[in-house]
Amino acid sequence: YYVHDEALRDNPPSGAEAPALPRDMQIHQYNSNQPETLDFLAKVRERMDGFGDTMTVAELAPGSYALMRDYTKGQNRLHTAYAFDFLSAWPGAAKMAEILDQWRDGPDDGWPSWAFSNHDVKRVATRWGEALGCPPPRAAPLFMALLLALRGTIFLYQGEELGLPEGDVPFDKLQDPWGINGWPATKGRDGCRTPMPWKDEVLAGFSKAKETWLPIDARQRTLAVDKQEKLAESMLHTTRALIALRKESAALNAGAFRVVEASGDLLVFDRKLEGARIQCVFNFGASDASREYEAKPKVLWTSDPVFNGSTLMIPPFSAAILKLA
């Protein structure tokens, strides 16, 4: 919305019968994403670079891959663009591969950002976990491993590192107008906005007030930071291990992306950089799977999969990150 077209033409009507917002009454053909916007972004980037270590992020509509590339390619536009594609229903392995494969390598491909949860959608451990029939304790490390293996900038939402499920907020405690007005068809967005559980106590170490803006879900208190710090295999430590692996591996951090297989519930992709090849394997299904390798690769991280000789045995809802070269 930075630039309107030169002729100041009116946007055409969208034809929506019941638009959720006033802006949805128009097709924003003449006041959004005009070619001159790229010139403006170049000036923004030049200005930001003058302040040292800074970062610029675009927020674009789902599926705007061409715009995302235009806004982020090269070194004189935005650093990255926030993608909404994985903030809705479970897409399936094949659709996910189709989306991800559009971001391969090279400066002309641009640099995306990925998020699985945020303040406007149900938490991913619940949203995708329920769709797959996978309970949050197994869903959380599976999706975290996937997120931290992708090419692009990663956005972690508060509590995602703890594996928090969606909070249960009763009607009389709702604050979000969407939930209040849409109840019971929709509970709104308060379930993903409940306080961060730092301690396993009444207000979860979040506040010293008598009452917090949103209530603390007892299920989330059991996943509090202080409890997970003491458990070597907790989701918090799993997240830290995956972040450390991403930082240590140049291929995972900045390497090219190639889909190897996306069939049924199995997703396999490679990250490559300067001779290094990391293969990431995910089983999103409720049945066992397996993959054959010519020689047993080095296992960098695994939730459950193990090798039987040169065969990788992949249990339901599990993942492995392997070094092939």
> What residues contact residue 304 under an 8 Å CB cut-off, 6+ apart?
314, 315, 318
Across the range 71-78, mean pLDDT stands at: 90
pLDDT band at 23 (very low <50, low <70, confident <90, very high): confident
Count of structural domains within the chain: 2
Provide the residue range defining the domain that includes 232. Answer: 30-248
Q: Identify the domain boundary among 248, 280, 308.
A: 248
Exposed e or buried b per residue across 271-299, where buried means at least 16 C-beta atoms within 10 angstroms of its C-beta: bbbeeebbbbbbbbbeeebebeeeeebee
Q: Look at residue 66 in the predicted model and tell me its pLDDT.
A: 82
- Helix (H), strand (E) at residue 281: strand 276-283
Claim to verify: residue 273 and residue 228 sit in the same structural domain: no
Q: Which residues pair with 270 in a beta bridge?
A: 258, 279
**pLDDT tops 70 at residue 107:** no
Contact 217, 168 (CB under 8 A): yes
Claim to verify: residue 236 and residue 269 sit in the same structural domain: no
Contact 314, 289 (CB under 8 A): yes
CA–CA gap between residue 196 and residue 192 (Å, rounded): 10
> What residues contact residue 196 under an 8 Å CB cut-off, 6+ apart?
158, 159, 204, 206
7: in domain = no
Claim to verify: residue 106 and residue 191 sit in the same structural domain: yes
Picking from 111, 124, 67, the residue whose alpha carbon sits closest to that of residue 253 is 111
34: in domain = yes
Q: Is the pTM of this model over 0.85?
A: yes
Contact 165, 136 (CB under 8 A): yes
Claim to verify: residue 241 and residue 277 sit in the same structural domain: no
220: in domain = yes
pLDDT band at 39 (very low <50, low <70, confident <90, very high): very high
pLDDT tens for each residue of 160-207: 999 999 999 999 999 999 999 999 988 999 999 999 999 999 999 999
Q: Tell me the DSSP string of 151-196.
A: SSEE-PPTTGGGTPPPP---GGG---HHHHHHTTT--TTGGGSSPP
Highest mean pLDDT out of 57-61, 66-70, 204-208:
204-208
Distances (CA, A) of 188 to 166, 180, 185, 218: 11, 7, 9, 19
Task: Report helix, strand or coil for 112.
Answer: strand
